[in-house]
Structure 1
Amino acid sequence: MAFYLKTFYTVLVLALTGGLDPTSVSAASPNPSLSYVGRVRAGYETTFTCTSNCIPGCTHTWLLKGCTFNGSELTWTPDGLDRIVELQCTAVNTESGSSKSITTILEVKNSVSVRPRPQLSLPILNQSFSLDCDGSFPGLPVLWYKDGQVVAPDARIDVLEHNTSLHFNSLLPSDGGFYQCEASMANLSDRKVISLGYLLNFDHWSVSISGPDTVLPGREYTFTCQVNCTIDLDCSIRWPLKGGILTSTYLSVNRNILKWIPSVPGTVQNFTCVVENTAAGRSAEASKTVKVTGPTVSGSETVRLSGVLGLVLCVGQLFLLDS
C-alpha cells in the first residue's frame, strides 16, 4: 500500500509542478497511420506502411483477407479476384499493452478483362461467338475459366492467338456462364492475374427511354429509363451527357428517373441511358431526342438566360456524368 501511495504522490507532485509531460502519457497509447504510394493494381506489388507514435515502441500486425502478418510494412500483390479489399493495421504498445487499429478500404484496379469480339456483340444461340482476354500480354500463357472451372477446348470451342481468344463455333444453352481468363504478367511469369469477368447470357437486356418527344420551356418533364434487369442488383444506371450542353433551369437524376425543366426554345436535347454490370462485362444503352418548342427567344434574352443558367448547367453536367 505504501508503494502505491508513494507512486501516486510522485505523479501528483510532477503534474502540479509541470515535471510531468502530458504528451508522454498520451504516447503510451498507439495512434497508427497507414500509407502507401500509387494505385493498388492487380498483378503488381504495393507496399503498405503502418507507423505509430509509441513510447518506448510498438509492434504492428496486419489483417488482410482473413490472414495476419507481422511487421510495420506489408507488401501485397493482388491476383484480381477482389475489387474491394479491407486492410487493417493494429499497433500494440510493447510496454503498456494498449492497442489501436486503423482500417482502410482498397480499390483494386484490374487491367485484364474478358470482352466479346467484336465489342458490344451479343451471344446468339447456334451462332459463332468470340471472347477476348483483353489486357493479356502476347505470347504469354492464358488460361480460361467458366464458372470457376477450366475450359477445355473441344470440337466446338477453340482457343486462338496464344489462348488470348476463346471462340465458339456454334453456341449452345450449356455455354452460358461466367467467363474469366488468367493472364501471366509481362517479365513476371510467376505472377498471374484473374480478369474481370463476362456473363454469357442469352437473356438480353432491353432498354428504352419513356417520355415526351417535344417539350415546352419552364415546365417539368419526367423521363424514365425502362430496363428488364433489377437495378442496384443486376445492373446500374447512368445518364451520360452526350452531344452538347444541357440547357435547363432544373435537373434531377435518381437512378432510372430523370426530371428536367427545359429553358431555351428551338433547341434539341439528346438523352442517353446506359445500363451496365461492370463485373459481368455487360452493358446496353438507349437514346432519345427531345425538341424544345415555343416562341424563339431574342438575342439579348438568350444572353441573359445563359448567364443565369451557367451554374445550373455545370451542376446538371455533374449529375449526369456521375450518376
Structure 2
Amino acid sequence: MRHLPIYLFIYVYLFIAFFLGCLALELTPVTDPVISEVGGNAMLEIKPPGVLVSVIWTFSPAAIPVVSWTETNPVIGAGYENRVTLNTATGSVELRSVNLSDAGVYTFQGTTFTSGREAFNGSVTLEVYEPITNVNVKPSLAQPIANQALKLTCEVLGSQTVSSRLWLKDGQPLSTSDRITLSVDSSVVSFNPVLQSDNGEYQCKASNPVSEVTSTGYRLEVNYGPEQASITAPDSAAEGSSITFTCSAQSIPPCDYTWYFNGKETAQGSQYKIASVSNADSGSYTCVAWNSVTGRNTSAVKEFNVTESGSGSGSGCLKAEIAQIAIGTLSGIALLLCLSA
C-alpha cells in the first residue's frame, strides 16, 4: 500500500498530460512540407505563441526521439548526434546531412509562457530526394531512315524521382501531332514515321523537387534516298575529244555510284571520264546510285554519240570553196582554147 501514492501520481500525471494535449494549441509550421536533397540540410521551423519553456521533437510513426529541451541543454536522440541543432528560442530544428531514411513526419510538442503556461503541438513533413545528375537522349535506331518508326528515350540518371520531362527541338518546346506522340510520362517521343522535316537538335529537360538537368543535344539527321538521279554530259562529241559524265542524286548519306556502258559495268564514282573518245564509245551510259544505309538505289541513262573528226560545218564550207576554184579554173582554160582557135 505504501507504493500506492507513487502509482497514483503516475496516473494523475498521465491524465494531466493527456488532458493538456487535448487542449494544446495546434501550431502550423512555417513550411510544410520541407524539401531537401540527399546530403543537404533541412530546417524544420516553427514559431511558438510565446516564450518557449520546453519542446520535444520525435520522428513518426514510431515516435523516435530526435531532440528535447526543458530550460537546460538539449538532449539529442540516438542516431542524431552531430546532425541536429535546436533553436531554444523558437523550438525550430535544423537537420544536417539528410538521407532518404530521414524522410517522413516529425511531430513536436512544447510549452510557452506568457501570462501562463500554454501547450502547443503539431507536425511537419520532410521530403528527401536524390538530385538528378545527368540526362541523355537515346534513339531506338543508330541510323534513322525516312518513313520508318523512330523513338527517342529520355534517360535520367542519379534519381528515381522525376517530376517532369520536357522535350525541346532546336531550343523550343517540341510540338506533338498524330505522327509525333509522347508516352504518358513523357519519357519517350515516338515518330511514326520519321521524316526529313524532323531533322534538328533534340534535348530532354528533366526535373524533380531538388534539381533540373537538360541533356546535351542529340542531332537527328534522317537518312533517305537516293532520289532524282541524273547524268550531266553532252549528247555527242567529236572523235578524239575528251568527255566527262557526271552523276548526281539526292541522298543522305551521299551515294555510291556505279557506271555501266551498254549494260556492262565500267567504272565507279560520281564522274566517268574518257580522255579520247572513239566510235566504240557511242552507246548507252547508265549510272546507278546506291545508298548503303537505306539499302535503296536509283538509276539514270544517257545516250551518247561520237561523230567523225572534222565533220563539222567548217569542213563543208572548205569543200565548197575548192569546188568553186576548180570550176573557175576549167572555165578559164576553155576560154583560152576558144580564142586560139
For the criterion TM > 0.5, the same-fold answer is no
Q: Which has the larger radius of gyration?
A: 2
Coarse TM-score class (shorter-chain normalised)? 0.3 to 0.5
TM-score normalized by the length of structure 2: 0.33
